[in-house]
């Protein structure tokens, strides 16, 4: 097994690192405080090819591999997880699904502008009562002949306010249960489609999260993805890939916190020496370093298996489960190492700690990941 990155992957990693420091760092605290969407930065990410990294260039993408995607997400998340999650959703939950399952006409109309970063997309599965349970969709799409009539509410939708195109899951035939679910491409501005107020969140405050409200929205038949009843399989396939994106975001948050804690420990003095020379601090940093490396390997493994066309339900869930826990543990320790300074915004680690928590929740909670993993190992 080759653990060495290719020259191209190293270049992508460096490009993402440079962008994060030159374009994201300066205003990240202010955007977090004011809950300002990083519109200008996201536009530049599109120009650099980060918004459709794995999409075929003929559809406006960069045509890169999944390892490159993990590398870029980690570097961006070290500095600004809010900007990184915009990229993650657009890549993993929107573009990946459209490229794999849409017909050519849909790809030309919707995938091209999404992959090029001309517009951004959103994935609408979660609901007030169902959460991320794709089998329990209360949102309905009634077949009216030449169109569907969409009614319902979606919750916790990342990019909800700023997206142009939305992939929406809805129940068409409840008697068929999960086989009666469909996935649709819905456009902003359609009559009957509104967005709710922006959520006031603990972390990733720069990204916009809101509810979507559908009241008799007419969705053309040609905007259904796949055959009738394909929606559940579509959602499961997309979520598997999405977990790699969230794992990579968690990895980046942890890495960013560790780097800040290490730098602080090397310069901050206590009892006559730099605090890194105190065993209590040195051991914390050692544990953080080992955990981050292990999380990184799980992310790489899941990404490599995705590129190989393997079933990534287990590896993706493992990466997300472990990396999100590492992000939470590492950021807490980073605040502790900083002491009182860690509790104020200027030193960044308190924001990273707040950002870390969401990685244990979205794309399925840690408990859901354990269900996925346990089901997988029970079949072996």
- Residues noted as catalytic: 363
36 close to 162: Cβ distance less than 8 angstroms: no
Residue length of the chain? 380
Give, in degrees to the nearest 5, the angle at Cα 246 between 347 and 301.
Answer: 115
- Alpha-carbon gap, residue 281 to 278, rounded angstroms: 6
For 62, the token pair is 């960069």
Tokens of residue 94, six digits:
């929107």
């Amino acid at each position: 097994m080759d653990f060495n990155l290719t020259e191209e992957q190293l270049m992508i990693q460096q490009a993402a690192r440079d962008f994060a420091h030159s374009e994201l760092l300066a205003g990240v605290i202010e955007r977090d405080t004011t809950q300002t969407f990083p519109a200008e930065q996201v536009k530049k990410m599109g120009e650099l090819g980060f918004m459709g990294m794995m999409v075929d260039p003929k559809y406006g993408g960069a045509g890169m591999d999944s390892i490159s995607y993990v590398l870029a997400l980690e570097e961006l998340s070290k500095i600004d997880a809010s900007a990184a999650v915009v990229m993650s959703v657009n890549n993993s939950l929107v573009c990946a699904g459209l490229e794999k399952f849409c017909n050519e006409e849909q790809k030309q109309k919707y995938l091209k502008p999404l992959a090029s970063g001309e517009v951004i997309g959103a994935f609408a599965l979660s609901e007030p009562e169902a959460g991320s349970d794709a089998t329990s969709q209360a949102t309905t799409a009634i077949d009216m002949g030449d169109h569907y009539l969409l009614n319902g509410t979606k919750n916790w939708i990342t990019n909800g306010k700023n997206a142009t195109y939305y992939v929406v899951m809805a129940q068409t035939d409840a008697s068929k249960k999960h086989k009666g679910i469909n996935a649709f491409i819905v456009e902003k501005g359609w009559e009957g489609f509104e967005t709710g107020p922006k959520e006031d969140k603990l972390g990733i405050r720069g990204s916009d999260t809101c509810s979507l409200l559908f009241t008799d929205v007419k969705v053309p038949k040609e905007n259904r993805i796949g055959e009738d009843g394909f929606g559940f399989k579509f959602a499961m396939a997309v979520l598997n890939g999405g977990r790699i994106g969230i794992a990579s975001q968690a990895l980046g948050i942890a890495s960013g916190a560790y780097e800040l804690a290490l730098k602080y420990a090397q310069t901050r003095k206590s009892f006559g020496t730099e605090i890194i020379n105190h065993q209590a601090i040195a051991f914390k940093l050692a544990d953080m370093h080992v955990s981050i490396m292990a999380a990184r390997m799980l992310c790489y493994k899941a990404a490599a298996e995705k590129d190989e066309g393997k079933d990534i339900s287990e590896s993706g869930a493992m990466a997300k489960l472990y990396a999100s826990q590492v992000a939470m543990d590492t950021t807490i320790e980073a605040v502790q190492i900083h002491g009182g300074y860690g509790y104020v915004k200027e030193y960044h680690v308190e924001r990273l700690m707040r950002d870390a928590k969401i990685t244990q929740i979205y794309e399925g909670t840690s408990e859901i990941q354990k269900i996925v993993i346990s089901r997988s190992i029970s079949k072996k």
